[in-house]
């Protein structure tokens, strides 16, 4: 079977959790304790979801980190995962076939210093498109989460110059592909869920048949 056919059958699974109902019991804590407890809760969700995917217990002690700090499971070298959270939501992307995964989420009502962050993070072509769209915040969040997801998938995080990465986002489409000499080629898919922009990205490759997207399944925990 060809590599292309294998990729066509690849699946990215996204677990999506609303945090607010699960954090109510922490509301009376002081800020420092609240942040610590919230962080522990998020890692607990990650470990439980990974345990469900792998059909075996996963604990924090099972993780290792790459040179640039991206976590992985040494016992499962072919299993890709990445997680993200906003103030009120958590998401985990996993795949048994795609190792270099990245995911990012931002709530669309988040207060952002758009112009200053744009100067720091947008490629000139992205800035031109944003201006042409009359500074549309949805496009801004689409670009931002795509950059974050792509760089998380690459393992570099924000160590490279964000201005140099052109996501080539089409404002009328919810997915595409971008590339950079330092990281290679990455494809991405954007979603708007519960007032959030959610973007998942994965390492891709050149193909004479164009973009080949894996099946992406989103599961919302109750």
What mean pLDDT, rounded, does the chain reach?
A: 90
Residues 6+ apart with CB under 8 A from 208: none
pLDDT score of 188 more than 80? yes
From the list 39, 51, 54, the residue with the least C-alpha distance to 90 is 39
Strand bridging mode 80-85 / 89-95: antiparallel
pLDDT given for residue 23 in this prediction:
87
pLDDT given for residue 146 in this prediction:
97
Strand bridging mode 11-18 / 215-220: parallel
Give ∠ CA 89-93-94 in degrees, rounded to 5: 150
**Lowest-confidence segment of 20-34, 126-140, 183-197 by average pLDDT:** 20-34
What residue spans define the domains of the chain? Answer: 3-220
Decide: residue 144, CB within 10 A, 0-12 exposed, 13-18 middle, 19+ buried: buried
What does each C-alpha distance from 122 to 6, 49, 59, 135, 192 come to in angstroms? 34, 34, 37, 13, 21
Type and span of the H or E element at 200:
strand 196-203
Residue pLDDT, tens place only, 78-129: 999 999 999 999 999 999 989 899 999 999 999 999 988 898 899 999 999 9
Q: pLDDT class for 208, splitting at 50, 70, 90?
A: very low
Protein fold of 3-220: Ribosomal Protein L22; Chain A (3.90.470)
Rounded Cα–Cα distance for residues 172 and 192 (Å): 13
Residue pLDDT, tens place only, 32-46: 999 999 999 999 999
Type and span of the H or E element at 132:
helix 124-132
pTM: 0.91
Which ranges in 133-201 belong to alpha helices (H)? 137-154
Is 203 within 8 Å of 98 (Cβ atoms)? Answer: yes
pLDDT given for residue 161 in this prediction:
85
pLDDT score of 6 more than 50? no
For residue 201, the cross-strand partners are: 102, 188
Rounded Cα–Cα distance for residues 79 and 97 (Å): 7
pLDDT score of 54 more than 70? yes
pLDDT score of 207 more than 60? no
Q: pLDDT class for 209, splitting at 50, 70, 90?
A: low
Rounded Cα–Cα distance for residues 171 and 73 (Å): 36
């Amino acid at each position: 079977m060809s590599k292309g056919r294998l990729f066509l059958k690849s699946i990215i699974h996204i677990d999506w959790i609303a945090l607010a109902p699960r954090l109510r019991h922490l509301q009376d804590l002081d800020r420092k304790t609240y942040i610590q407890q919230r962080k522990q809760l998020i890692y607990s969700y990650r470990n439980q979801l990974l345990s469900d995917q792998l059909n075996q217990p996963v604990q924090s002690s099972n993780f290792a980190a790459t040179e640039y700090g991206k976590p992985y499971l040494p016992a499962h070298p072919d299993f890709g995962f990445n997680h993200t959270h906003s103030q009120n939501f958590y998401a985990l992307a996993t795949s048994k076939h795609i190792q270099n995964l990245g995911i990012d989420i931002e709530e669309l009502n988040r207060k952002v210093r758009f112009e200053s962050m744009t100067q720091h993070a947008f490629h000139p072509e992205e800035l031109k498109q944003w201006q042409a769209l009359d500074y549309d915040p949805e496009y801004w969040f689409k670009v931002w989460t795509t950059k974050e997801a792509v760089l998380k998938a690459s393992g570099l995080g924000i160590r490279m110059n964000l201005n140099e990465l052109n996501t080539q986002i089409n404002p009328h489409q919810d997915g595409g592909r971008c590339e950079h000499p330092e990281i290679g080629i990455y494809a991405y898919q954007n979603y708007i869920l519960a007032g959030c922009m959610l973007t998942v990205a994965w390492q891709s490759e050149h193909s004479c048949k164009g973009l080949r997207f894996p099946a992406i399944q989103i599961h919302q925990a109750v």
